[in-house]
């Protein structure tokens, strides 16, 4: 038996030796492959070696070579990873990695730092030398690599600290940022940094200290001073550190609340973060914020409301005061308060509803606050629809309507509210049902039944709702038709607005709509024009009735009438002339509508085109944009269009410029004079898409473009270079002077596609040049 | 003499975590009554963290996506408006980059790269063959460290089928376009797109013969899983406190609701089928409904602690699906190459918003799901984004990224955070892995953690 066991043991050891030899052979082969001329072979080898971990140690020389020499990103990254995974045994690679610590690519410097960190203390000699390198980036990144080794190399801290004397604030700040990685031993150095001359160092030190709180009184005092620093980033770091400083609750809360009012947003954000941290452990925050809420200074009140909002439901004790603030006149402050309340969630719902029962409260703002809480408030609001207090029922119904989506489960209750004793409740319920756009047959039936409500306000809300939900058109018309002649103007206005929503389904009521154009109430006339517009070409018989409204005393009515004329369309010159007069209207909105309408009309008089051209310089950008589109539709003469559009390319508004670029692209080759300006716009993020599109569509360039195109040949943006090359080919012989530059560009490029493009342009210039020469010869 | 029989009391019961029936093991959410008393308080206070990653293709319309201001108190722009109900749980992050999604000398194939790089940060090898190579994705880095604690190490979900092999984008394998989870450099994980299959998987007991019989009976008799575990449920109810009885009731109602929606999805629908996307049985014809059902599966999986890590692709990279439910008949990918056309940009913006509406549905559902003392969203970190920024330019910087959920108090939400230009997205992943309790030295092209993420 022992002989058998011995034999087994021998066999096993032999197998291990064979396996070992085999894996050594693998590593050797992979190491050799790292120098292959075939990129894929090198990549595969690098990946494989990285996967081997310490077993790849024999390949360190080749891996080091790859780190030094290989230009492929994947090979380099995997070679570095392999070295990192080998660890201390790869110490010979450390100098090569240190060389990379000043690379411009952050990925490379990070990987190099990481790999050096993994090699560990055996890399100390080269890293300590690197701390004195003439190159600042290498010094900083060496410090970072040491920091990755953490407390294990705390002895090097004095050498790192020397770098804090660097003249560059950026470098010194980055070094300060590494100190905390060395552990608690760095705290005294961090403390000294709190009074450093560079703001970057002070900020980094305060941030670094956060991990080591609470602090001794001396550090606490320094942080308190720092919270009043001139520099915002320093104040922000100090405020964050104060939350961990261990100061008495009242004191630190006061400082943090003061930071909440800071002019610099990063300081305010830091204050919020500190508030959230303090609130976990400290009971002074909420009282402090409540105190601020009572300040006479509205900045204080806003800051306090904002801070309470950040604390969310834990600040619920502030609710009564916040609700009282809803009555303040300032809309902006009210909006902050509404948001604050909404963050408290469902705990705020009963308090808000109770407040709504008090007559002095602003019901619209209460309703907004309830809605802002969102779907979580739905059960409480649904229940409140049957509350004994009218104001509560109104607030609940309104709030449901103000939500992003009216909760469908509340619709039956809302339908029941259409029979409420209070007209206010009935009105709110109808409006909310309208916003739901429901198709629920029972709810729609309840709505239709409410159309004859005794209260005019309710009838008006019901009519709008009928048109907004999925009522059958014939049922809606039965209700809306008679209501056009209601004695109450609000009801008539809503009836006509409802018909506008029905669109072409309302055609049978065209005669009544035409009569409504003469209504004494401007809102009815306006809505009638809108409803007629919704009928589109089916309302052509109403054109003669619309034209007088172009001179209506109310701008809203004139705007609706001209829009309707544009939708219905006409080829009548008189119609176009009447509309063109509105280009001089005193109301910008009317002018806007007129520009849109004119595009749909034929036989616009010359005066109209002149007015449109003048409007290209209007003070309102939306009018200028509409003017561009209208101008393009009216001005048929390309030679007259192009210069005007090129001038519009100077507009300050990107939408106006975009519309001009689109128009130039549509013109095509005849717009080639726009190329220089379009090239300029290609460098702008807002314009580049439209500019490129226009250049492609124009697909031509003249000699005037040469200076710009020459400049773009040197652009760092390959796409711009490509366009420049392409268009120079289109320019032809006048671009012959650029042939040497083009040839250099072709020869220097390593992109096959780009070389081909340049060559093609060269051939075009030379061919055309030769053709011209031949003709001359 | 036998030792006296010990009186069993509730406090000495180990936590029972499933209702059982034929072929079924219906996992339960956390119920305090079932936990040993001594650990109940500690356990309820420290619910496990969950993590999920959601991918959308073709980038976004950035002007309608990026909030105008940074920090707290920002306004949600048009595309993100559906997230208003969960604004306080949301962190919008701008400025992150996936450099390895760029060509870097490999030429076309941006879409395939964008999906492959989304969670790996690794430059994929350009191949349509079997020699695919990317990197380990962040979800799998977490799953490999922590996945042993749950029944499934991770759950990969999707809403669009796709091949795992062959060329899908300019010489890149379909594996790159159709997967975002990679368990190793060469192993993309397939995703489940069928809600019914996912449901069965979550609630199966692992005994295949029983499972088959159970499914057959349920489908034939149109029975619910609840019908099969009702006896066990009744027995359990008697042992629970009032609050836990309500929780169990709510949970079982939710399960039944999901079953009903799957059933109605399988029935004939009035919605016009998109002939480019034939739907197998069990998958709703309505795309929005499909996404929401898969979101329900994710919530169920987290709620029952079946897994703590998940990914979901709302659609594959370069998806050209149309969105008839919002009256957009053009293909998504086609539209994304808008060339500055305002109408196309408006449609893209609406598609983006549609996706966000589904994401909002997921988050609101998580927020409404109790989990210990808080809710599921509080204890989760959900990352939503795309591997492309502007779909027209195919760029990989300033990516659209959202983070939702408190991550068990680790993430400071309710803000817009702008990272320094060219900050690797993988730096975000480094931070997430650290918060999740599974830190790594690096992932993809990370250069450290993302500052400013947490309190």
Q: What is the pLDDT of residues A461-477, one digit of tens each?
A: 999 999 999 889 999 99
Neighbours of B442 (CB within 10 A): 20
In this model, does residue B97 exceed pLDDT 50? Answer: yes
Residues 6+ apart with CB under 8 A from A301: A292, A293, A294, A295, A325, A333
B40 pLDDT tier (thresholds 50, 70, 90):
very low
pLDDT for residue A474: 92
Interstrand relation of B415-424 and B90-97 (parallel, antiparallel or unpaired): parallel
Nearest Cα to Cα of residue B263 among B199, B212, B196: B196
CB contact under 8 A, A374 and B448: no
Distance from C-alpha of A72 to C-alpha of A66, rounded to nearest angstrom: 9
| Interface probe with A: pick from B61, B70, B72, B391, most Cβ of A within 10 Å | B72
- What mean pLDDT do residues A528-535 have? 96
Instruction: Please check the confidence at residue A677 and state whether its pLDDT lies above 90.
Output: yes
CA distance A39 to A33: 10
Checking if the pLDDT of A587 tops 90, the result is: yes
Number of neighbours of residue B129 by Cβ within 10 angstroms: 11
Q: Please, which residues have CB within 8 angstroms of residue A186's CB and are 6 or more apart in sequence?
A: A154, A157, A179, A180, A208
| pLDDT given at position A269 | 83
Contact call for B125 and A268, based on CB within 8 A: no
Asked whether the predicted pLDDT for residue B454 surpasses 50, the reply is: yes
Q: Look over chain A and give the mean of its residue pLDDT values, rounded to a whole number.
A: 89
Interchain CB distance below 8 Å, A404 and B82: yes
pLDDT of residue A281: 62
Q: Which CATH number fits domain B19-25+47-214+285-436: 3.40.720.10, 3.10.180.10, 3.30.499.10, 1.10.3720.10?
A: 3.40.720.10
pLDDT band, very low/low/confident/very high, at B8 (cuts 50, 70, 90): very low
Span A260-288, average pLDDT? 82
pLDDT at A19: 47
Whether A106 and B125 lie within 8 Å, measured CB to CB: no
- Any CB–CB contact under 8 A between A79 and chain B? no
Whether B270 has its CB under 8 Å from any CB of chain A: the answer is no
Q: Do A272 and B448 touch (CB under 8 A)?
A: no
Q: At what angle do helices A73-86 and A106-119 cross, to 10 degrees?
A: 20
* Token duo for residue A711: 């400049």
Alpha-carbon gap: B42 to the closest alpha carbon of chain A (Å) = 18
B155-158 and B90-97 strand pairing: unpaired
The gap between the terminal CA atoms of chain B, to the nearest Å, is 61
Q: Do A658 and B392 touch (CB under 8 A)?
A: no
Which chain A residues in 326-355 lie under 8 Å from chain B, judged by CB atoms? 336, 339, 343
Question: Are residues B133 and A114, on separate chains, in Cβ contact within 8 Å?
Answer: no
Judged by a CB distance cut-off of 8 A, whether residue B373 touches chain A is no
Q: Please indicate if any CB of chain A lies within 8 Å of the CB of B99.
A: yes
Question: Residue B446 has what pLDDT?
Answer: 92
Interatomic CA distance for residues A616 and A648, integer angstroms: 7
Of B85, B422, B455, nearest to A276 by CB-CB distance is B455
> Nearest 10 degrees: CA dihedral of B108, B114, B117, B121?
90
Q: Is the pLDDT of residue B143 over 60?
A: yes
| Dist CA A593 CA A563 (whole Å) | 6
Identify the CA nearest to B396 among candidates B96, B66, B29: B96
Pick the range with the lowest mean pLDDT from A698-702, B252-256, B288-292, B334-338.
Answer: B252-256
Quickly state the pLDDT bin for B22 (edges 50, 70, 90).
low
Q: A306: distance to nearest CA of chain B, Å?
A: 8
Q: Measured on CA atoms in the order A702, A703, A704, A710, is the torsion positive or negative? A: positive
pLDDT for B13 beyond 50: no
| CA–CA dist B369, A132 (Å, integer) | 58
- Which 3-state string (H, E, C) describes chain B? CCCCCCCCCHHHCCCCCEEEECCEEEECCCCHHHCCHHHHHHHHHCCCCEEEEEECCCCECHHHCCCCCCEECCCCCHHHHHHHHHHHHEEEEEEEECHHHCCCCCCCCHHHHHHHHHCCCCCCCCCCCCCCCCCCCHHHHHHHHHHHHCCCCCEEEECCCCCCCCEEECCEEHHHHHCCCEEECCEECCCECCHHHHHHHHHECCCHHHHHHHHHHHHHHCCCHHHHHHHHHHHHHCCCCHHHHHHHHHHHHHHHHHHHHHHHHHCCCCCCCCCCCCCCCCCCCCHHHHHHHHHHHHHHHHHCCCCCEEEEECCCCCCCCCEHHHCECCCHHHHHCCCCCHHHHHHHHHHHHHHHHHHHHHHHHHHCCEECCEECCCCEEEEEECCCCECCCCCCCCCCEEEECCCCCCCCCCEEEEEEEEEEHHHHHHHHHHHHCCCCCCCCCCCCCCCCCCC
- What would the mean pLDDT of A347-359 be, rounded to a whole number? 86
Question: Which residues of chain B neighbour A692 with C-beta distances below 8 Å?
Answer: 340
* Chain A residues touching B81 at Cβ < 8 A: 404
Q: Are A117 and A132 in contact (CB under 8 A)?
A: no
User: What is residue A355's DSSP assignment?
Assistant: H
User: Residue A719: its pLDDT value, please?
Assistant: 74
A51, A208, A269, A749, best to mutate vs chain B, most B CBs in 10 Å: A269
Cβ–Cβ below 8 Å for A73 and B422: no
Which of A76, A104, A106 has the most B C-beta neighbours within 10 Å, making it the best mutation to test the interface with B? A106
pLDDT in tens, A710-726: 998 988 777 788 889 99
Q: Which residue has the higher pLDDT, A674 or A687?
A: A674
- Tens of pLDDT, residues A145-189: 999 898 888 889 999 999 999 888 988 999 999 999 999 999 999
In chain B, which residues have their Cβ closer than 8 Å to the Cβ of A273?
412, 455
Q: How many CB atoms lie within 10 A of CB A329?
A: 7
Residue A24 DSSP SS3: helix
Could you tell me which chain A residue has the CA closest to the CA of B391?
A689
Residue B148 has pLDDT above 90, yes or no: no
Q: Residue A293's pLDDT is what?
A: 82
DSSP assignment letter at A570: B
| Nearest chain A alpha carbon to B338 | A689
Q: Do residue A375 and residue B133 have CB atoms under 8 angstroms apart?
A: no
Q: Which of chain A's residues have a Cβ under 8 Å away from the Cβ of B342?
A: 658
Which chain B positions have a beta carbon within 8 Å of A110's beta carbon?
A: 446-448
Residues 354-413 of A with CB under 8 A from B: 374-376, 404
Interface of B with A in 129-168 (CB under 8 A): 133
Q: Does A268 touch chain B (CB under 8 A)?
A: yes
The pLDDT, as a whole number, for residue A228 is 95
B10 pLDDT more than 60? no
Alpha-carbon span B76 to B59, nearest angstrom: 18
pLDDT at residue B150, as a whole number: 87
Range name among A381-395, A537-551, B117-131, B219-233 with the lowest pLDDT average: B219-233
List, in sequence order, every residue forming a beta bridge with B380; answer none if it has no partner: B50
Residues B174-216 have pLDDT tens digits of 999 999 999 999 899 999 998 888 888 887 655 555 566 666 6
Tally of CB atoms within 10 A around A291: 14
> What is d(CA B223, CA B227) in angstroms, rounded to the nearest whole number?
6
Structure confidence at residue A433 (pLDDT): 96
Task: Assign B46 a pLDDT band (cuts: 50, 70, 90).
Answer: low
Question: A265 CB near a chain B CB, below 8 Å?
Answer: yes
The more confident residue out of B5 and B69 is B69
Q: Is the peptide bond before B242 cis (omega within 30 degrees of 0)?
A: no
Asked if pLDDT for residue B389 goes beyond 60, the answer is: yes
Q: Is B273 on the interface with A (CB under 8 A)?
A: no
Q: For the segment A271-282, what is each residue's pLDDT rounded down to a tens digit? A: 888 887 887 666
CA A664 to chain centre: 29
Q: What is the pLDDT of residues B322-354, one digit of tens each?
A: 998 898 988 999 899 887 788 899 999 999 999
Q: What is the pLDDT of residue A263?
A: 87
Task: Please report the pLDDT score of residue B219 as a whole number.
Answer: 61
Taking the C-alpha atoms of residue B147 and residue B141, their distance in angstroms, rounded to an integer, is 10
The predicted complex's ipTM stands at 0.74
Sign of CA dihedral B290, B295, B299, B301: positive
- Whether A273 sits inside 8 A of B412 (CB atoms) is yes
Q: How far, in Å, CA of A443 to CA of A461, rounded? A: 15
**Going by C-beta distance under 8 Å and a sequence separation of 6 or more, which residues neighbour residue A349?**
A370, A373, A377, A380, A381
Chain A interface includes B451 (CB < 8 A): no
The pLDDT assigned to B16 comes to: 52
Please report residues of B whose CB lies closer than 8 A to that of A268. 71-72
Instruction: Tell me the nearest-neighbour CA distance from A350 into chain B, angstroms.
Output: 19
B407: left (phi over 0), alpha (psi -120 to 50) or beta: left
B340/A277 touch (CB, cutoff 8 Å), yes or no: no
> What is the per-residue pLDDT across A488-506, written as a single tens digit (0 to 9) for each?
999 999 999 999 999 999 9
Q: Flag if A110 and B447 touch (Cβ within 8 Å).
A: yes
Taking residues A326-350, what's their average pLDDT?
A: 81
List pLDDT tens digits, range A197-248. Answer: 999 999 999 999 998 989 999 999 999 999 999 999 999 999 999 998 988 8
Can you give the C-alpha Rg of chain A in angstroms? 38
Q: Could you report the per-residue pLDDT of A57-94, keeping only the tens digit for each?
A: 999 999 999 999 998 888 999 999 999 999 999 999 99
State phi, psi for B422 to the nearest 5 degrees: 70, 15
How far lies A214's CA from each of A206, A237, A608, in Å?
13, 15, 76
Q: What does the pLDDT read at residue A321?
A: 85
User: In B, which residues are within 8 Å of A693 by CB distance?
Assistant: 339-340
Q: What is the pTM of this model?
A: 0.70
Look at residue B9 in the predicted model and tell me its pLDDT: 38
Structural domains present in chain A: 26-165 (1.25.10.10), 701-777 (1.25.10)
Instruction: Give B84→chain A minimum CA distance, Å.
Output: 8
Please report residues of A whose CB lies closer than 8 A to that of B364: 375
Q: Tell me if residue A163 falls in helix, strand or coil.
A: helix
Which residue has tokens 């109403």? A542
Tens of pLDDT, residues A616-671: 999 999 999 999 999 999 998 989 999 999 999 999 988 899 889 999 999 999 99
Nearest-CA distance from B173 to chain A in Å? 17
Domain segments of chain B as ranges: 19-25+47-214+285-436
**What is the percent of chain A where pLDDT is above 90?**
64
Q: Minimal Cα–Cα distance from B447 to chain A, Å? A: 5
- CA-based nearest residue to A177, from A197, A142, A153, A147: A147
């Amino acid at each position: 038996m022992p002989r058998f066991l011995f034999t087994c043991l021998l066999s096993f050891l032999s197998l291990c030796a064979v396996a070992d030899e085999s894996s050594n052979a693998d590593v050797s082969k992979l190491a050799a492959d790292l120098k292959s001329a075939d990129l894929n072979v090198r990549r595969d080898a690098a990946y494989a070696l990285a996967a081997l971990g310490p077993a790849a140690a024999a390949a360190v020389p080749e891996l080091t070579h790859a780190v030094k020499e290989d230009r492929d990103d994947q090979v380099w990254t995997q070679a570095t990873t392999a070295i990192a995974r080998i660890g201390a045994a790869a110490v010979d690679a450390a100098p090569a990695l240190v060389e990379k610590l000043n690379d411009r690519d952050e990925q490379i410097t990070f990987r190099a730092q990481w790999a050096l960190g993994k090699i560990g203390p055996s890399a100390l000699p080269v890293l300590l030398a690197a701390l004195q390198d003439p190159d600042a980036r290498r010094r900083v990144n060496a410090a970072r690599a040491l920091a990755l080794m953490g407390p294990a190399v705390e002895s090097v801290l004095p050498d790192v600290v020397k770098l804090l004397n660097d003249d560059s604030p950026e470098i010194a700040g980055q070094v300060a940022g590494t100190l905390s990685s060395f552990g608690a031993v760095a705290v005294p150095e961090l403390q000294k940094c709190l009074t450093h001359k560079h703001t970057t160092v002070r900020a980094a030190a305060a941030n670094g200290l956060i991990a080591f709180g609470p602090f001794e009184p001396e550090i606490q005092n320094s942080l308190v001073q720092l919270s009043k620093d001139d520099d915002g980033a320093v104040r922000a770091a100090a405020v964050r550190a104060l939350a961990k400083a261990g100061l008495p609750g009242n004191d630190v809360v006061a400082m943090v609340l003061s930071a909440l009012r800071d002019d610099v947003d990063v300081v305010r954000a830091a204050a919020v973060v500190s508030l959230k941290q303090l609130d976990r452990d400290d009971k002074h925050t909420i009282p402090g914020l409540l105190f601020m809420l009572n300040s006479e200074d509205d900045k204080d009140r806003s800051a306090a409301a904002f801070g309470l909002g950040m604390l969310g439901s834990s600040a619920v004790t502030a609710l009564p005061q916040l609700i009282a603030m809803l009555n303040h006149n300032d809309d902006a402050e009210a909006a902050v308060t509404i948001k604050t309340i909404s963050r408290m969630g469902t705990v705020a719902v009963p308090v808000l509803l109770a407040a709504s029962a008090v007559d002095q409260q602003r019901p619209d703002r209460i309703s907004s606050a309830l809605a802002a809480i969102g779907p979580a408030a739905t059960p409480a609001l649904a229940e409140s629809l049957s509350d004994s207090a009218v104001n509560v029922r109104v607030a609940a119904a309104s709030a449901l309507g103000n939500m992003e989506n009216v909760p469908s489960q509340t619709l039956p209750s809302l339908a029941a509210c259409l029979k409420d004793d209070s007209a206010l409740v009935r009105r709110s319920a109808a409006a909310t049902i309208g916003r739901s756009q429901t198709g629920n047959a029972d709810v729609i039936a309840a709505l239709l039944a409410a159309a004859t409500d005794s209260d005019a306000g309710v009838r008006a809300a019901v009519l709008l709702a009928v048109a907004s939900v999925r009522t059958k058109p014939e049922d809606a018309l039965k209700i809306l038709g008679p209501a056009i002649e209601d004695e109450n103007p609000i009801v008539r206005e809503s009836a006509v607005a409802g018909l506008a929503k029905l669109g072409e389904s309302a055609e049978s009521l065209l005669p009544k709509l035409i009569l409504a154009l003469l209504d004494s109430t401007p809102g009815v006339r306006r809505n009638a024009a809108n409803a007629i517009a919704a009928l589109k070409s089916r309302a052509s018989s109403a054109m003669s009735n619309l034209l007088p409204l172009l001179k209506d005393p109310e701008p809203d009515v004139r705007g609706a009438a001209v829009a309707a004329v544009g939708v219905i369309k006409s080829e009548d010159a008189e119609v176009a002339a009447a509309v063109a007069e509105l280009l001089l209207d005193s109301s910008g909105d009317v002018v806007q509508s007129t520009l849109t309408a004119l595009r749909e009309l034929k036989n616009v008089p010359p005066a109209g085109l002149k007015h449109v051209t003048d409007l290209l310089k209007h003070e309102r950008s939306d009018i200028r944009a509409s003017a561009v589109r209208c101008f393009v539709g009216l001005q048929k003469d390309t030679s007259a269009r192009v210069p005007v559009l090129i001038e519009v390319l100077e507009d300050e508004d990107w939408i106006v410029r975009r519309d001009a670029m689109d128009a130039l692209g549509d013109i095509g080759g005849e717009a080639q004079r726009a190329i220089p300006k379009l090239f300029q716009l290609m460098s702008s993020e807002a314009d580049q898409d439209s500019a490129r599109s226009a250049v492609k569509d124009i697909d031509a360039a003249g000699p005037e473009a040469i200076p710009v195109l020459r400049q773009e040949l040197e652009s760092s943006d390959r796409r711009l270079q490509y366009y420049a090359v392409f268009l120079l080919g289109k320019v032809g012989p006048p671009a012959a002077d650029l042939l040497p530059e083009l040839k250099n560009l072709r020869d220097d490029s390593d992109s096959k596609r780009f070389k081909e493009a340049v060559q093609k342009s060269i051939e075009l210039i030379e061919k055309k040049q030769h053709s011209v020469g031949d003709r001359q010869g | 003499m036998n030792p006296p029989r010990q009186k069993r009391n509730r406090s000495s019961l180990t936590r029972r975590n499933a209702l059982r029936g034929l072929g079924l093991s219906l996992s339960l959410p956390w119920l305090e009554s079932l936990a040993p008393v001594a650990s109940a308080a500690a356990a309820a206070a420290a619910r496990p963290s969950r993590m999920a990653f959601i991918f959308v293709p073709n980038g976004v319309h950035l002007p309608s996506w990026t909030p105008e201001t940074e920090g707290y108190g920002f306004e949600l722009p048009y595309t993100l408006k559906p997230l208003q109900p969960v604004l306080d749980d949301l962190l919008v992050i701008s400025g992150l980059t996936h450099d390895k999604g760029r060509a870097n000398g490999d030429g076309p194939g941006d879409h395939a790269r964008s999906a492959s790089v989304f969670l790996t940060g690794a430059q994929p090898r350009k191949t349509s063959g079997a020699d695919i190579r990317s990197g380990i994705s962040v979800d799998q880095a977490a799953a490999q460290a922590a996945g042993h604690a749950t029944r499934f190490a991770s759950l990969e979900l999707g809403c669009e089928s796709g091949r795992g092999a062959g060329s899908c984008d300019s010489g890149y394998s379909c594996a790159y376009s159709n997967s975002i989870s990679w368990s190793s450099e060469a192993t993309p994980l397939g995703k489940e797109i069928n809600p019914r299959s996912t449901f069965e998987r979550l609630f199966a007991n692992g005994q295949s013969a029983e499972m088959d019989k159970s499914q057959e009976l349920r489908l034939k008799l149109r029975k619910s899983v609840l019908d099969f575990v009702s006896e066990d449920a009744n027995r359990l109810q008697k042992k629970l406190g009032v609050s836990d009885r309500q929780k169990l009731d709510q949970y079982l109602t939710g399960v039944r609701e999901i079953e009903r929606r799957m059933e109605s999805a399988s029935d004939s629908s009035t919605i016009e089928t998109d002939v480019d996307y034939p739907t197998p049985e069990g998958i709703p014809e309505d795309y929005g409904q499909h996404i929401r059902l898969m979101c329900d599966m994710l919530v169920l999986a987290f709620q029952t602690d079946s897994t703590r890590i998940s990914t979901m692709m709302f659609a594959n990279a370069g998806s050209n699906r149309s969105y008839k439910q919002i009256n957009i008949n053009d293909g998504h990918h086609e539209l994304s190459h808008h060339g500055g056309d305002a109408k196309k940009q408006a449609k893209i913006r609406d598609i983006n918003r549609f996706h966000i509406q589904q994401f909002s549905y997921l988050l609101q559902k998580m927020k409404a799901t109790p989990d210990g003392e808080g809710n599921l969203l509080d204890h989760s970190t959900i990352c939503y984004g795309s591997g492309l920024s502007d779909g027209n330019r195919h760029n990989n910087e300033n990516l659209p990224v959202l983070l939702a959920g408190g991550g068990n108090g680790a993430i400071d939400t309710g803000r817009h955070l702008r990272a320094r230009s060219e900050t690797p997205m993988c730096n975000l992943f480094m931070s997430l892995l650290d918060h999740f309790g599974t830190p790594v030295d690096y992932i993809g092209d990370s250069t450290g953690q993302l500052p400013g993420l947490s309190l």
